[in-house]
Structure 1
Amino acid sequence: MLPRYYNPYLVAFAATIGGMLFGFDVSSVSAFVDDDDYRKFFNYPDSTEQGGITASMAGGSFLSSLAAGSISDRIGRCVQSVFS
């Protein structure tokens, strides 16, 4: 049987850590933007293209967060029915 967590502080802590990791991930993009291999792979993008590349990561995260609830609900219910 899977453990059930009813502590709201634990849930808030997990959400906070996830948000902090996402923020770190977005900020780490600046570390490789000027790298020669990166620029060559994306065919030496100008500032507008670079903004689109960087924004696509946040946009993809937003779109997948819209679907994550229903997917995890279905998978969670399947796993819960197997273990109950």
Structure 2
Amino acid sequence: MLLAGCTTTSDLYSVDRVDARAYIMPDGDLYIEEIVTYNFHREMNGTERYVETLGHGGIEFFEAYIPPDGKELCRFCQTGLEFFYV
């Protein structure tokens, strides 16, 4: 069965690079910083991302920012960055 007009995620965008650092805090919390580089194949306003909780209490603190061009992970701070609404 073929449905006209259907697209797959790979038709819309690709993930070209992921840089991540994870830290286990003294209280056992997991702190993660990451930069995900998307390549959109057509005009889009963004994408959605899901995190599976797998039975734990969930995410308590989450912020997303658009990083400065050309900066690497941990080479800039959040001050003055554009907040990305999630």
TM-score w.r.t. structure 2 length? 0.25
Name the structure with the higher strand share: 2
Structure of higher RCO (CA pairs closer than 8 Å, 6+ residues apart)? 1
Answer with 1 or 2: which has the greater Rg: 1
The structure richer in helix per residue is: 1
TM-score (norm 1): 0.25
